[in-house]
Amino acid sequence: MLYDLDNKLLKTIPQLEEYQRWRARLSEKDYREIIAWLHQLMERQNFFIASQIPGKDRAGTPYEPILEACERDENQAKLFFSLLVWDAVMQHPDDWHFARHELELPEFLGLIYYRKKLI
């Protein structure tokens, strides 16, 4: 489950219209595999930066279909991936928070997610 910094439970995905359009282009199998990989990551870590997960080369990973769902548009694929992370965190049984960070370095773009028990 995902909470904002005011401990409000979040139940919707931002930019839902775009998310639904891209999501409709993913097979159910690809979607489930992406969510499962994200949940595995969340089981191993207490915090993560979403933009650091897929890496620069998605070939051969569960994240490869994201680019195809976005008609090979890298910027849309990055946004769609960030929304898939949001979706996966909302579905996870543990409580998570997110925050934007102050660093303006390309490798630290995106949201930081961390287990609620850490605050």
Q: How many angstroms separate the CA atoms of 84 and 43, rounded?
A: 17
In the chain, how many domains are there?
1
Q: pLDDT value at position 109?
A: 58
Assigned token pair, 108: 């630290």
Q: Tell me if 23 sits within 8 A of 32, measured CB to CB.
A: no
Domain range enclosing 83: 2-118
Q: How many angstroms separate the CA atoms of 67 and 73, rounded?
A: 7
Mean pLDDT of successive 10-residue stretches along the chain, which has 119 residues: 89 94 96 95 90 73 88 90 95 90 58 78
Enter the pTM of the model.
0.87
Q: pLDDT value at position 118?
A: 57
Q: pLDDT value at position 24?
A: 97
Q: pLDDT value at position 52?
A: 77
Sign of torsion over alpha carbons 107, 58, 77, 28: negative
